[in-house]
Structure formats: structure tokens, C-alpha cells
Amino acid sequence: MLDARLALRKTENERSIIKITDSIGCGAKDLFIVARPCAVEDLAQMQQVAEALPLGTIQALRGCIYKPRTSPYSFQGLADEGLVILSQIKKISSLPIVTEVMSSQQVATVIDYVDVLQIGSRNMQNFELLKTVGQIDKPVLLKRGLSATIEEFIMAVEYVLSHGNPNVILCERGIRSYDTYTRNVLDLGAVVALRQLTHLPVIVDPSHAAGKRELIPDLARAAIACGADGLIIECHPQPELSVSDARQALSLPDMQTLIDSLADIAKAVGRQLVAKPMATQQDQFSMLSQATLVG
Ligand code: PEP
Ligand code: MN
């Protein structure tokens, strides 16, 4: 059997809740929903996402400033300029921020500005990076490798845990297969298996799995129905203008419709969508608008 002494659950009911902030956790009854443009492009773009979506139900924003691109000639992310935007959007939206890191150096650069560090598929077995994020105490969102087996995925998680960081969220984002119609094959079987084998939360990224926006809402609903602890979904104020992954970006109204459609499914599987009281939401919107004026 797999020597994943920290990741595997010891009893049938053992489940860990990963604390993101004092009021937000991943792995509890509330679904952990992360909205995200593929890459941070400018402050207005991030602000439009934050303003259009139900703050509260959306529990984190993701913005990437370092982009792992297949081609070295493609947009590589705004780096330092993007970090300034991330800190501004964190301040004005009060939402936790998730961002991807690809090296130990990038971990050091972003650590004080963000709440969750994502390690993307291409780095799932970058063992030195796994050891580095094992030595911090912020939550790590680890995505399954492009062709990683479930066991390899669990052992990558084990690297982080065994270096001292217990705060790991797993993310299924589709695996490579022969079919080119979908970008990847969303492996919902892995979601079920990972939740049975480990005590850690498992969320689903239907965007990189499907690669086509019209497939995403149904896959997202299926993910919640099979027990996923949350979703991370790409959306953009003007999807067709997205600098990366435009074909899979949802418009903000479509994102809202998708989120609304999750409530009944969540209930059927003993989960819930966080519904923030309107008054609080209004406060947050006016905070956002004021910040727009000032900034
Ligand atoms: C991403 O989340 O933006 C990304 C590049 O995804 P993945 O690592 O799953 O390909
Ligand atoms: Mn993307």
C-alpha cells in the first residue's frame, strides 16, 4: 500500500478543514468556490470580477501573475506589476487571494501578499517546490499533474505534508487522453477516490478539464454532485478578450448563473453554498466603488 502516512485518512469519517481565513475554510459544509480570470491583466479586470460576483458565495479570487505557458512566446504574466494589483484587489474586495507559484523564489515574493499558493499541474512533481511550500504555513492548492496517477498525486501531497505544512487542498483538473474535443478528461472517479483515500479537501477545476466554456456548467454541477469540496472556475469580464484560455472563460453573468444552479445540488449532497446577507454584500459593493474612485 501507498506510503502516504500523513495524507491517507485513518478512519472513515476523518476529514480535514483547511483554514483560509478566520471565517473561510475549505472542506467544511460550505462549498469553497474560487472565481478567477486565467491571468491578472489589469486592476479593472480583477475589480470587475469581484464586483460582479456574489462576494461571500465566492470565497476567494484567483489571479495569476506567473503563467506556466507551453510556448515561451506566449504571455508569461505581469509578475511584480501583477503583485501590486493583487494586493489592491485583496484590500478592496476583502477576499482571500490565490496565486500560482512555479519556483521557490516566487514563493518568497508572493507569500506576504496572498492567502493560498497554487502549484499547477506542470509542477505537481517539482519536488523542490513541494518541499518549499511544505515549510510555509499558508494553504497550498495542489493541482493534479497532466498525466499523474492518483497515487503519484497523493505522494506529491505527502511531500508538502511531510515537510511540515498540513494545509493542502487537492485539485482535479482533468488528465490527458487521446480525445482532442475536450482539452483534458475530467476524472470525477479520482475526486471520489481521493476523498475516500485522504482526509483532505478535493476541489475541481472544470475549466482546464473542458477547455470549452459550454461544457463547464454541467461538469461543475457533476463535480459537486460527486462530493467535491469546491470549484475553481475561470471567468472574465470579456471572455473573448482574455489574454489566455479565452475559449474556456465564462462571462460574469454565466458564472453567476452557474453558481446559482449549484445551491440545490449542494443541498442534495449535504453541502451548502454560502449565502451572504444582502446588507453585507451591499456594504462590500459600496466599499469596492469607493475604492474605485479613490484608486
Ligand atoms: C491554471 O490554473 O491557470 C493552470 C495553468 O492550470 P493547470 O496547472 O491545471 O494547467
Ligand atoms: Mn487558465
Query: Could you say which ligand is closest to the alpha carbon of residue 242?
Result: 2
The answer to whether 63 touches 40, Cβ cutoff 8 Å, is yes
Tens of pLDDT, residues 235-252: 999 999 999 999 999 999
Which residue's alpha carbon is nearest to atom 2 within ligand 1? 120
Cα(234) to ligand 2 centroid in Å equals: 7
- pLDDT, one tens digit per residue, over 131-142 is 999 999 999 999
> What residues does ligand 1 touch, defined as CB less than 6 Å away?
38, 64, 68, 120-122, 143, 173, 205, 208
CA–CA dist 87, 245 (Å, integer): 24
Span 197-226, average pLDDT: 98
Q: Is the pLDDT reported for residue 280 higher than 50?
A: no
Containing H/E element for 117? strand 116-119
User: Would you give the DSSP letter of residue 14?
Assistant: -
Ramachandran quadrant class, 270 (left: phi over 0; alpha: psi -120 to 50; beta: rest): left
Q: Which of 121, 207, 245 to mutate to test the pocket of ligand 1 (most atoms within 8 A of CB)?
A: 121
Ligand 1 centre distance from Cα of residue 140 (Å): 14
CA of 189 to the centre of ligand 2 (A): 23
- Give me the chain's average pLDDT, please: 93
pLDDT confidence of residue 56: 84
Closest to 118 measured CA to CA, from 147, 135, 97, 93: 97
Atom of ligand 1 nearest to the CA of 171: 9
Q: Cα of 120 to ligand 1 centre, how many Å?
A: 5
Residue 219 grid coordinates: 461538469
Grid cell at residue 162: 511531510
Q: How confident is the model at residue 275 (pLDDT cuts 50, 70, 90)?
A: confident
Nearest CA to ligand 1 atom 3: 38
Measure the CA–CA gap between 95 and 123, rounded to whole angstroms.
26
Q: Looking at the predicted structure, is the pLDDT value of residue 94 above 80?
A: yes
Amino acid at position 110, single letter: V
Question: What local confidence, expressed as pLDDT, does residue 191 receive?
Answer: 99
pLDDT at 276 over 80: no
Distance 198 CA to ligand 1 centre (A): 22
User: At how many degrees (to 10) do helices 252-268 and 216-225 cross?
Assistant: 20
150-206, pLDDT tens digit by residue?
999 999 999 999 999 999 999 999 999 999 999 999 999 999 999 999 999 999 999
Residue-level pLDDT at 71: 97
**Residues whose CB is under 5 A from ligand 2 (ion)?**
38, 245
Q: How confident is the model over 31-47, as pLDDT tens digits? A: 999 999 999 999 999 99
**pLDDT value of position 291:** 44
- For atom 6 of ligand 1, the residue with the nearest CA is 120
Band the pLDDT of 294: cuts 50, 70, 90: very low
Taking the C-alpha atoms of residue 262 and residue 220, their distance in angstroms, rounded to an integer, is 8
Cα–Cα distance, 84 to 72 (Å, whole number): 24
Closest atom of ligand 1 to CA, residue 205: 9
Q: How far apart are CA 5 and CA 45, in angstroms?
A: 43
Query: Does the structure show a pLDDT above 80 at 290?
Result: no
The confidence score (pLDDT) of residue 7 equals: 98
pLDDT tens track for 43-81: 999 999 999 998 888 999 999 999 999 999 999 999 999
CA dihedral 215, 216, 218, 219 (to 10 degrees): 110
Name the residue with the closest Cα to ligand 1, atom 4: 120
| pLDDT reported for residue 284 | 46
| Tens-place pLDDT, residues 75-88 | 999 999 999 999 99
* 284 alpha carbon – ligand 1 mean position (Å): 29
